[in-house]
Structure 1
């Protein structure tokens, strides 16, 4: 009898918690509210944004064994050899330009792997400069140190899964890449006007800084 009462109480508490949650608590399901919502509501804005951001084609990616050659070349180029410190995420912002139709990238690291992913910001371009931004992971206290080295393709970095910018579309989620073993490269055709966000994610590492060699360029 005591066990049955405990289960009944737990079920009642769970139902109470669920009833207090709204659709807005769960990303990606806001459109469900539109069935019985006035046309001038927030849902109208959400649907408009969705219509303006079509699904993006996947990137073309490749690998090369010429790691040493790439490193030697990029050591002589300005800002192509950088340190991504432990717990940090380096984001390279690459705006689209009229003279090209795709963006290309190549990178490698010393000793250990690094997370890499690509997103596209549909906000109209106001500057044609390629810029670099460094940020710390907001989830450092919740993440555990993972063993570094060769890993499977399914190892998604926790620090780069959530994006609050509603103008962002995902091209390639952040995965740990074996960039210490082979050059990681790729390209993506412009889906329209906007800015690419190439993320080099070292937020999963509590102890190791990563030396990164990279270059980003346009192609017609």
Structure 2
């Protein structure tokens, strides 16, 4: 049985009754069986886990003032203009559709311009609007319960810049917030125009997804439109994604409802960066270098870095050992040419795809400085692709549940 109202087995029906009794001190009149079953399904009808999840949610609502957010929250201008995505149209069964051209998002620009807490709260605002307004309106309109959303993530233009750690951490925090406090809100999700680095991105996001959520996500290359048409009529889709809807000015992406993202102008940047926190600190002596070894177990892993120096520049390069024994930089395979960087002026960050397995050397070079040692603060990570996952072709799709 599905665990939804009208489709419960005997065990599920008993669990629902016991759950009502266990959380009766917290319930409001509008929290009906449809609502309560979301929490039970999210924890596979485990009463103790479902009750803990629900009680944690009530405490979380108090902390973020979720009950007042529609009246009190004011979204920062930079998020309104550059935080991708928006609600547009309805699926064939009446579910609202969220379309997010995530490949165009400037994560670094957004988090250098707005607080992470505001980025999270902006999503809380949208979810509260869904539950308080749109779901209720659609339920009355279609004559049956509507309490889930269809999501389309367009990853066109997605690249290694989306692996910037503070930005990806913020995205994962939003995913975790939704899973913990709005369970079973996703009806089905389509990830379209998936790039070659998608397995790495998914490997980082997957730990924050519930197993049932992952089963609802389907991955496509560029040939996705026929699949969308199974769930969405063309007049409910913007023309850019295969539908017939356009803005009054003819915009095929319907940017009046769906924020298209783009590079955040530096005028929005705050005067400081938060991403330099919690980095390892080490000193590189004058006339010397620091070499850090990292093991890449399989091809197509990504090495991601960010670092800063205090007061002066430093040389930075990446090499791959060609022998088991230690080698000098000049004897190794150069994969990221060494160059002096002004990491004392701005946090350096970047990433490379490692086409080969092996031992990679991150080298901080201070050999050119005979009078000054350099203090470095760094974070370096090796990101592996999701096990067994291959990039879907342009004419095929793949459910993430096959990777569980």
Q: TM-score range by the shorter chain?
A: 0.3 to 0.5
TM-score, scaled to structure 2: 0.26
Larger RCO (alpha carbons 8 Å, 6+ apart): 1
Higher helix fraction: Structure 1 or Structure 2?
2
